[in-house]
Structure 1
Amino acid sequence: MTPLSWHDWVPYLEDRGYRVIAPAWPRMDRPIEELRADPSLVGGLGITEITDHHAELISRLDTAPIIMGHSVGGLVTQLLLDRGLGAAGVAIHPGQTKGVFRVPPAQLRSALPAIGNPFNLNRGVPLTPGQFHWGFANALSEEDSREAWSAYHVPAPARPLFQAALANLNPRAVTRVDYSRADRAPLLFVAGDADRTVPASVVRENHRRYKSGIAHYMEFPGRSHFTVGETGWEEVVGRALEWAVAHSAGTRSGS
């Protein structure tokens, strides 16, 4: 997805006095029609490039931000905090870091359109409306899911999924973090028990890997991977914001 997927969250947070930055990933700061027409635009984009891009944006801010990221963005949130950035982090249904071994069948099926073909490594891969509904927006009706697919879906780079899937076989995996780092900013994991792309059991294991610092876990019933846009999103952002402010000395700059 593109920053359009945050269209409800941004005004919600701005109405509460926060400056909100919702940057696109590198090479994805284009109209969705252009990205859909040419999936090669995002081909080969990897986790390190995405993380470096956000780290550079954060370095320009006057105060340390609350960092919120969803899915691969939730993995990037963990990597940014591991670099010493941010006043607090919220990893929403996050892709897992190196050391998380659980891969439920539903997660594998959701990832197959990308990682099922090794030649996709350097490609941008779209989902069909049916694939999107099964793996991403399964808490919605088929009609509502198709509307969400039409409004927000773009081809995604497959490389981050390969990097996450093979991380435990790679001693130099780009998804590794220091789970014992005590000076990391507080980190909240948010999961949904209906998510098939990143099932709650995977998020729970990711959370348990953190051995020091503040790392909390929050799970919402009935929420799919499309939690940021499906009905009830206000509770998710509201509770995430409340937690983040309570654990970040009330910073007023957000990302």
Structure 2
Amino acid sequence: MATPGTPVLFIHGLWLHAASWAPWVDLFADAGYRPHAPGWPGESDTVEQTRANADPIAGQGFDDIVDHYAAIIATLEAPPILVGHSFGGTVAEKLLGLDLGVAAVTVDAAQIKGVLPLPLATLRSAFPVLKNPANRHRAVSLTAEQFRYSFGNTLTPEESGELHARWSIPGPGKPLFEVSAANFSPHSPFKVGTDNETRGPLLLIAGGQDHTVPEVITEATLKQYRHSAAVTDFEEFADRGHSLTIDHGWREVADLALSWLKKQGH
């Protein structure tokens, strides 16, 4: 069982800044955990600084991001609970499969190797990057309209626009190109240790109206874990989109994560 003060590592996804976890960090700290929300490699301390100089982000691949967080874990006082959104959820799955965390909660995690569904909504969400092969080595931003489709489709236009203005940053194109080829590459970085019998418990959370990672992807991910006896649970927020960790309903998602962790002894 985890002791009071267990570290929690929050891992954000593509196009959001690490500071977007701030309400979660405060909530988990109040619950007795020691939360950490570092950015991706190359990410600056603030949204404004990252937008002003996105060059250090460009070219960062999935393995670079995983290695970055693994190095952070090595500096913590104990193995952490991993909480990730979107690509950050996939990073959390990878780290949990490597036994670098005691438990993981993933929210709308991107595909891992072996997940076959590729909905049209996912392709449309990724199109701002994938439309140009040169974007593999660039950092790419979403317009407010693109953010509205990919993140804020269940929100009012006003809330979606406010979240875009507050938290959206350029993201590296390389992980999207890597994940699109994952099932055709024998050495894809998106291969996760789904058959690990001794890993910590995993909760997969899906947004039923998510365009970027539709629920069918999370359901297919759950099936990838069928060969492991380790705890793998699934929860759905049927009316929520990809913004569910940062929009007005974030607390409902965070409370579910906290309740589940408590049931798992963490």
Name the TM-score class by shorter chain: over 0.9
Shift of residue 241, structure 1, vs aligned partner: 1.5
Residue 194 (structure 1) aligns with: 209
Separation in 2, partners of 1:119, 1:221: 36
State how 1:1-255 maps to structure 2 within 5 Å. 1-210=16-225, 211-212=227-228, 213-247=230-264, 249-250=265-266
Letter in 1 for 2:257: A
Aligned residues: 249
Q: What SS does the aligned partner of 1:17 have?
A: coil
TM-score of the two chains, using structure 1 as the length reference: 0.94
Separation in 2, partners of 1:223, 1:167: 27
Shift of residue 30, structure 1, vs aligned partner: 3.2
Q: Deviations over 1:14-37 (max 9, x none)?
A: 111111101111110332223223
Separation in 2, partners of 1:39, 1:21: 22
Shift of residue 63, structure 1, vs aligned partner: 2.0
Q: After the TM superposition, which parts of structure 1 deviate over 6 Å for at least 4 consecutive aligned residues?
A: none
Note the aligned Cα RMSD (angstroms).
1.1
Letter in 1 for 2:161: R
What are the ranges of 5 or more consecutive residues in structure 1 without an aligned counterpart? 251-255
Kept in 2, the 8 Å contact 1:129–1:146? The answer is yes
Shift of residue 160, structure 1, vs aligned partner: 0.8
Shift of residue 115, structure 1, vs aligned partner: 1.2
Separation in 1, partners of 2:64, 2:216: 28
Separation in 2, partners of 1:228, 1:178: 25
Shift of residue 199, structure 1, vs aligned partner: 0.5
Separation in 1, partners of 2:34, 2:45: 23
Kept in 2, the 8 Å contact 1:39–1:126? The answer is no
Q: Deviations over 1:104-158 (max 9, x none)?
A: 1111100100112111001000000000001111111111111111100011001
Q: Deviations over 1:43-101 (max 9, x none)?
A: 10111111111111112222221100100100000110111111100111001110001
Q: What SS does the aligned partner of 2:37 have?
A: coil
Separation in 2, partners of 1:98, 1:239: 27
TM-score of the two chains, using structure 2 as the length reference: 0.91
Separation in 1, partners of 2:199, 2:224: 14
Q: What SS does the aligned partner of 1:225 have?
A: coil
